[in-house]
């Protein structure tokens, strides 16, 4: 199992600003995943964060908007840049070993005003 500490748990931000979300895992993991969950929707993968290399982004998500850092095997950050109200969502980090369940952080509820 893995325990993930994600912060902040929630924030209200002004449009045009940026927010960095942090995830700390209690064990070393090869890959971390960042998801977005818009109101009433399921989870959409933003990117996969690999230690020592650039993140791999899914279609519709770009590095300039969602830069990701992965400095070591237990930590990652996701930045939501130049925010607009459409970025209001829950952001979740996740880790998963091969062929096992995914563990999720508590989520960050972002509201952009």
Partner 1 sequence: GQNIDQPTEMTATEGAIVQINCTYQTSGFNGLFWYQQHAGEAPTFLSYNVLDGLEEKGRFSSFLSRSKGYSYLLLKELQMKDSASYLCAVLDRGSTLGRLYFGRGTQLTVWP
Looking at the Cβ atoms of 81 and 88, the one nearer to partner 1 is 88
Positions that interact with partner 1 (CB under 8 A): 30-31, 33, 41-45, 48, 56, 92, 94, 96-107, 109
Looking at the Cβ atoms of 19 and 105, the one nearer to partner 1 is 105
CA distances from 73 to 20, 22, 52, 80 (A): 18, 13, 9, 22
Query: What are the CB-based long-range contacts (under 8 Å, 24+) for 57-65?
Result: none
- Minimal distance in Å, beta carbon 42 to partner 1? 4
Question: Residue 84 has which token pair?
Answer: 């607009």
- Minimal distance in Å, beta carbon 90 to partner 1? 8
């Amino acid at each position: 199992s893995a325990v993930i500490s994600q912060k902040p748990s929630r924030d209200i931000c002004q449009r045009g600003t940026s927010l960095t979300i942090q995830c700390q895992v209690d064990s070393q993991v090869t890959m971390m995943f960042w998801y977005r969950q818009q109101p009433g929707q399921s989870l959409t993968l933003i990117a996969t964060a690999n230690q020592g290399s650039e993140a791999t982004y899914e279609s519709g998500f770009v590095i300039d908007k969602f830069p990701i850092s992965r400095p070591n095997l237990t930590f990652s950050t996701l930045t939501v840049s130049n925010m607009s109200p459409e970025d209001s969502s829950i952001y979740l980090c996740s880790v998963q070993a091969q062929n096992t369940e995914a563990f999720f952080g508590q989520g960050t509820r972002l509201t952009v005003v």
